[in-house]
């Protein structure tokens, strides 16, 4: 694996328990809100979505933001996690969510072969050992010439990142190469959010293993974590969604 900073020796992800443990913290996470703003801006720059697919839809927040922004669009999401799909379906009635393993080698679900005209894959590739295989499988869900917006983390890996299964963090060059090899033409790439996104990430790294307990739903999100999230929510709301030095990496690509 050559994608940025790699990690080894971590057990397989358990997203069923992750969503149960961290769903509340994810909703409060200022980085998630910043990513939604980033992705919406990147999609909007290329025209309103028609048939939008969220690849790795998690608990549905991004798909919900797309449905709210473009109510005329057809919106769908796929995710490996049954628990994530259940949460998403309850949150976003305007979208269709399905459980699907893109690494299984199976064909798309009925009606979804070549379906999406626009798609996102946000904070997914760092969680898989075979991102090339995932993207090759995802291609089958996309219409010819479909637009794909990807976000991945850059910068150092934190203890919390390892806890939730990050295999690696990327560089812009790694991300562009991965997409090109998967059959996409990269239209734009960069690193958003400088300087405050980087400061946020350094805070997460400095907190170390203690952050896992800070945001565990069973114990309740700690007062310290809530205060930090509130501060960074304001800072990231004013951060740029374009750039080269931010640790929130992004790329816009078109299927060949």
- Cα 99 from Cα 115, distance rounded (Å): 17
**Domain residue spans in the chain?**
5-255
pLDDT tens-place string over residues 31-48: 999 999 999 999 999 999
pLDDT tens digits for 136-186? 999 999 999 999 999 999 999 999 999 889 999 999 999 999 999 999 999
Does position 1 have pLDDT exceeding 60, yes or no? no
5-255 has which CATH code? 3.40.50.150
Report d(CA 111, CA 96) in Å as an integer. Answer: 12
User: What is the pLDDT at residue 205?
Assistant: 95
Query: What is this structure's pTM?
Result: 0.91
Whether residue 219 is predicted with pLDDT greater than 80 in this model: the reply is no
- Better-scored residue on pLDDT, 192 or 207: 192
Q: Are 20 and 217 in contact (CB under 8 A)?
A: yes
């Amino acid at each position: 694996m050559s994608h940025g900073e790699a990690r080894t020796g971590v057990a397989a992800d358990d997203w069923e328990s992750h969503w149960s443990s961290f769903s509340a913290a994810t909703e409060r996470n200022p980085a998630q809100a910043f990513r939604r703003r980033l992705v919406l801006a990147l999609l909007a720059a290329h025209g309103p979505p028609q048939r939008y697919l969220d690849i790795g839809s998690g608990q549905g927040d991004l798909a919900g933001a797309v449905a709210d922004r473009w109510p005329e669009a057809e919106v769908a999401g796929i995710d490996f996690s049954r628990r994530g799909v259940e949460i998403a379906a309850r949150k976003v009635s305007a979208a269709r969510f399905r459980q699907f393993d893109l690494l299984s080698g199976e064909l798309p679900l009925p009606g979804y072969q070549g379906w999406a005209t626009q798609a996102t894959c946000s904070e997914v590739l760092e969680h898989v050992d075979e991102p090339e295989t995932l993207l090759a499988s995802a291609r089958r869900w996309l219409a010819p010439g479909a637009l794909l917006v990807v976000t991945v983390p850059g910068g150092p890996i934190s203890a919390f990142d390892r806890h939730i299964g990050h295999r690696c963090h990327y560089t812009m060059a790694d991300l562009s190469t991965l997409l090109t090899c998967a059959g996409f033409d990269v239209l734009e790439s960069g690193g958003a959010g400088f300087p405050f996104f980087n400061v946020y990430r350094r805070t997460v790294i400095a907190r170390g293993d203690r952050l896992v307990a800070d945001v565990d739903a069973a114990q309740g999100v700690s007062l310290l974590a809530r205060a930090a999230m509130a501060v960074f929510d304001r800072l990231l709301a004013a951060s740029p969604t374009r750039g080269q030095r931010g640790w929130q990496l992004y790329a816009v690509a078109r299927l060949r």
